[in-house]
Amino acid sequence: MSLHNKIFSAAVLAVALTTGVAMAHPDAAHVQAEGAWARASVPGQQATGGFVRLTAQEPLELVGVETPVAAVGEIHEMKMEGDVMRMRAIDSLPLPEGQTVELKPGGYHLMFQQLKAPLQEGTQVTVTLIFKDSKGEASRLHLELPVHRMAPKAGSHGHSMQHGHGSAHHHGQ
């Protein structure tokens, strides 16, 4: 990471922490992320969920999720089939332009599987969401998800920071 990127990242983090508003890198995916959080896990637990409200400024599809805390990141859907709640991985989740799509417990959500270590309450998890636009071009949005045992109360804003790249090229690492 160059000195310029470190300084920029520190400045973005400082602004995000003082305002409590999700900040976007200038070339971020055209997506607003709000209310992001991940569920705490206990030793021996192999999977947990991540949740966020996404509003795209153009038609996009959420096509992937990556996190260093788990070997596998997937997009999951939960829905009732008869009397049974079923959960399954899906390849993509459409994000219509200007409509908020909520990834929440009991509905669409991010799934982190084969956890490398328990997610502890009060920590943060780095998550990268991968989107594709109508031309098939990929973009990434980097988020810091605060870890909670239960959903944060409405109106309590976690300090989530967005940092995305408008192309499929990944800078830095």
For the chain, what are the domain ranges?
A: 31-148
Averaged pLDDT of the chain: 80
69-117, pLDDT tens digit by residue? 999 999 999 988 899 999 999 999 999 999 999 999 999 999 999 999 9
pTM over 0.85: no
For the domain covering 31-148, report its CATH number.
2.60.40.1890
Q: Are 36 and 50 in contact (CB under 8 A)?
A: yes
Q: Are 76 and 50 in contact (CB under 8 A)?
A: no
- pLDDT at residue 168 in the model: 36
- pLDDT at residue 155 in the model: 52
Q: Are 159 and 20 in contact (CB under 8 A)?
A: yes
Question: Among 42-51, 114-123, 146-155, which stretch is predicted with the lowest mean pLDDT?
Answer: 146-155
